[in-house]
A and B are shown apart, each in its own frame.
Chain A
Amino acid sequence: MSSFTPFTSIAAARRMLRTKELSPVELLEAIEARIASVDPKIGAYIERDLETAKKEAAAADLSKPLGGIPIGIKDAISVVGQPLQSASRILDGYTAPYDATAVSRLRAAGAIPFGRMNMDEFAMGSSTENSAFHPTRNPWALDRIPGGSSGGSAAAVASGTALATLGSDTGGSIRQPAALCGCVGLKPTYGRVSRYGLIAFASSLDQIGPLTSTVEDSGLLLNAMAGKDPHDSTSLELPDEDFTAEIGRDLKGLRIGIPKEYFVDGMEPGVRSAVDAAVKQLVSLGAEPVEISLPHTEYAVAVYYIIATAEASANLARFDGVRYGRRSPEARDLASLYAKTRAEGFGREVKRRIILGTYVLSSGYYDAYYLRAQKVRTLIRRDFDQAFTKVDAIISPTSPETAFRLGEKTDDPLKMYLADIFTIAANLAGICGLSLPCGFSNRDGVDLPVGLQLLGRPFGESRLLRIGHAYEQATEWHKRHPSLA
């Protein structure tokens, strides 16, 4: 019997594999056993292919940086030969014919894709309630949502059923579930990781990134995934970088921006006090606090829900029942094949966003909505350009509130959207963002995790990970785990 225990970091699991304390197959079996005992309560996984993963584990090259490490993959990211649905009925029966570049790079580093992680359909949502499969539950309170859209990816790391997972972040879909579940989530700079093989939601905002139990682990996964890919013309050619290189250095001389627009009334009191304490902690570690302003913050949600839905309405046009996935058996002609297949295949939130996106792009409304939103996007981006002339990172809560109850917001989409206020601007500006645990807030008598968000300038991931790691090592939050007995 192996000595593996849940909540082991990748870095620690790697040491166990290298010293032969544990074999890759034993590691995989231990994770599978943990999933079998815990995941029926959580629902983080949609499906697993243990046999394929075992074969890959048996052949794992332990000399590689992630040799033998299983990684859960959000159901929007292609793994060759595995079903892929973006948690939508419209992709019933679809099998990915190739690996996403992020996945093939993880494989090249020795990792083993294992498990399809649950999500909101087409990554549209903040609660993972919009999955066509089942809702995922928050490991800290089973009647609460895990956040979203990468809710399965976050809940698995937080419940010890995965060492690490991949998510995708279009408006906070990695950072917000990481915050609500109490794990680490990194949204890389736009263009840092190839989007090839990621089912598109909003192409100018989407970015793949890791969810992990430690800050260092996120750096290890980014090391494997980053880089130019000829299959994604928006991926960028940059010098090779070890994103963990700055980890361990102190924070002396680093300036941390505190945006006054992000510390406003209406925030959950326990979130506010946890983040205030985190700022103090960073200052005690040597960072210098600087008050800054991001004056166009209040427009971010509006701009986002124009741009993201416009892009989604175009991207989702490809799901028409002709080339892949589901086809309505009711179709009489080509027009009804499209309309009925899409009616049966898409869930409510997706339909709502397609209609809104179609509206803002339609004749007579384009200038008033889409073009105007793109111009305000420029102003939001400039806010950050300005801020980063004064500071090395910007600090804020990841979400103004902790996990809410299942069903609490399903009837009011605007209310759900407004809670994305702190994460959305980073996608509009293309910058990188990290969420990590910074304490607990008592909501309705339950202690729920609070996430600290650090935003960095374009290509500033190494600096963010350094700050995040220093904070993590000075606190105990990442060592606390939900009791799921």
Chain B
Amino acid sequence: MSTNAPHHTIDVPYLARLARLEITPEEVELFGGQIGRILDHVEQMNKLDITGIEPTAHAITVFDVIREDRVTESLPKETILENAPRSANGLFVVPKVLD
């Protein structure tokens, strides 16, 4: 099964860019074949007539979960920043975005 070339081909480098994921040429090759074969399997969905069927986003649907618009306590900023790879002056630090 895994030795046959898949019917589906996908543009792995383009998708990896969309996903902000650097990948190696080896991974492009590997994922292209594996995902192609998964999509070949997924194709069986096309046998079904889905005319007029509503999509399900959540199986047990709840509507209009609302709460009072009130300020409540949240975690202290210092606690959150303790997990940051870099922070200073109460802010996350990232590489320069604008020159």
- List chain A positions with a Cβ less than 8 A from chain B: 93-95, 97-98, 189-191, 204, 230, 233-234, 236, 296, 298-299, 301-303, 305-306, 313, 317, 320-327, 331-340, 342-343, 346, 348, 351-352, 354-356, 358-359, 362, 369, 371-379, 381, 411-415, 417-418, 428-431, 458
> Is B34 a contact of A430 with CB atoms below 8 Å?
no
> Is A381 a contact of B56 with CB atoms below 8 Å?
yes
A230 and B19 alpha carbons, distance in the complex (Å): 31
Question: Count of chain B residues with Cβ under 8 Å from any Cβ of A?
Answer: 50
Task: Report chain B residues within 8 Å CB of A343.
Answer: 21-23
User: Given A355-B21, A377-B55, are A322 and B92 neighbors across the interface (CB < 8 Å)?
Assistant: yes
Other contacts beyond A352-B31, A414-B1: 12, CB < 8 A: A204-B58, A302-B41, A322-B85, A342-B20, A343-B23, A351-B21, A351-B23, A377-B59, A378-B54, A381-B59, A414-B38, A430-B58
A338 and B86 alpha carbons, distance in the complex (Å): 14
Within 8 A of A (CB), among B75-97: 75, 79-80, 82-86, 92, 94-97
Residue B67 is within 8 A (CB to CB) of chain A in the complex: yes
A183 and B35 alpha carbons, distance in the complex (Å): 33
A321 and B93 alpha carbons, distance in the complex (Å): 10
Task: Report chain A residues within 8 Å CB of B19.
Answer: 313, 317, 342, 354-355, 358
Task: Report chain A residues within 8 Å CB of B71.
Answer: none
A207 and B27 alpha carbons, distance in the complex (Å): 31
> Is A324 a contact of B83 with CB atoms below 8 Å?
yes
> Is B55 a contact of A323 with CB atoms below 8 Å?
no
Central interface residue in B1, B18, B23, B92, by most chain A CB within 10 Å: B18
Of all chain A residues, which has the CB nearest B11? A359
> Is A355 a contact of B15 with CB atoms below 8 Å?
yes
> Is A371 a contact of B94 with CB atoms below 8 Å?
no
Task: Report chain A residues within 8 Å CB of B62.
Answer: 191, 233-234, 236
> Is B54 a contact of A375 with CB atoms below 8 Å?
yes
Of all chain A residues, which has the CB nearest B76? A97
Of all chain B residues, which has the CB nearest A330? B22
> Which 5 pairs between the two chains have the least Cβ-Cβ distance?
A430-B59, A374-B55, A327-B85, A343-B22, A233-B65
Report the minimal beta-carbon distance from B74 to chain A, rounded to whole angstroms.
10
Residue of A191, A334, A356, A412 touching B60 (CB-CB under 8 A) = A191
Residue of A302, A332, A348, A352 touching B44 (CB-CB under 8 A) = A302
> Is B21 a contact of A97 with CB atoms below 8 Å?
no
User: Given A337-B94, A343-B21, A362-B15, are A351 and B60 neighbors across the interface (CB < 8 Å)?
Assistant: no
> Is A335 a contact of B58 with CB atoms below 8 Å?
no
Report the minimal beta-carbon distance from B95 to chain A, rounded to whole angstroms.
5
Of all chain B residues, which has the CB nearest A321? B85
Supply 24 A–B pairs (Cβ within 8 Å), ascending by A.
A97-B79, A299-B45, A317-B19, A322-B85, A323-B92, A324-B84, A324-B85, A333-B95, A334-B94, A335-B20, A336-B22, A337-B94, A343-B21, A348-B27, A348-B30, A356-B38, A359-B10, A369-B42, A375-B54, A376-B48, A376-B53, A412-B1, A415-B1, A415-B2
A229 and B97 alpha carbons, distance in the complex (Å): 39
Residue of B20, B37, B44 touching A320 (CB-CB under 8 A) = B20
Residue of A323, A337, A351, A356 touching B83 (CB-CB under 8 A) = A323
Residue B16 is within 8 A (CB to CB) of chain A in the complex: yes
A458 and B62 alpha carbons, distance in the complex (Å): 13
